[in-house]
Amino acid sequence: MADSTPDVAALRPIELTDGWQVDQAIVTETERVVVIRFGKHTDPECMVQDKILCSIAPKVEKFATIYCCDNQQVPDFNKMYELYDTCTMMFFWRNKHMMIDLGTGNNNKINFVIEDKQDLIDIIEVVYRGGKKGRGLVNAPKDYSTRHQY
């Protein structure tokens, strides 16, 4: 009888395994938002976020591409992007880091898990629309300053 437990790697977005791959993912995509989840693959928060990212990938594939990068194996960007949290998501549009105002005070990245699939789709869509308009900072459709109340 076959094991019905899903492969952990299958629940992860496309993995970037070195600094060059991360650079190429950001630089070469010209029509879609690049979403990169930085964090250790075995971290529980990252595993939850990866599962959610994989589940929404087909819904956002026309305007976003999703990657993950274990920043312990690929520490190249830790200082540059201040990747100190266990799970961090960042957005890029045409080789430009996109900032998003979530109401948390940190506009550079999302450093908490967004478990609501539609919320995450909405955030990615806002980043896409803002990028197309030439904006470097967009406002999230929802205020996450009180996210623990949701």
In a domain, 1, yes or no: no
- The parts of the chain modelled with pLDDT lower than 70 are 1-11, 147-150
Q: pLDDT value at position 116?
A: 95
Give pLDDT, residue 101: 95
When divided into structural domains, the chain yields a total of 1
Residue 56 lies in a domain: yes
2, part of any domain = no
What pLDDT shows up at residue 10?
A: 56
Residue among 52, 47, 94 at smallest CA distance from 70: 47
Here the tokens at position 70 are: 């274990």
Per-residue confidence (pLDDT) for residue 119, from 0 to 100: 96
CA geometry: angle 76, 79, 81, nearest 5 deg:
90
57 assigned to some structural domain: yes
Question: Does residue 149 belong to any structural domain of this protein?
Answer: no
Domain interval for residue 62:
8-144
- Percent helix, percent strand, percent coil in the chain, to nearest 5: 35, 20, 45
Query: Is 125 within a domain?
Result: yes
Q: What CATH number has the domain bearing residue 118?
A: 3.40.30.10
The answer to whether residue 133 sits within a structural domain is: yes
- What is the chain's Cα-based Rg? 15
Judge whether 150 lies within some domain: no
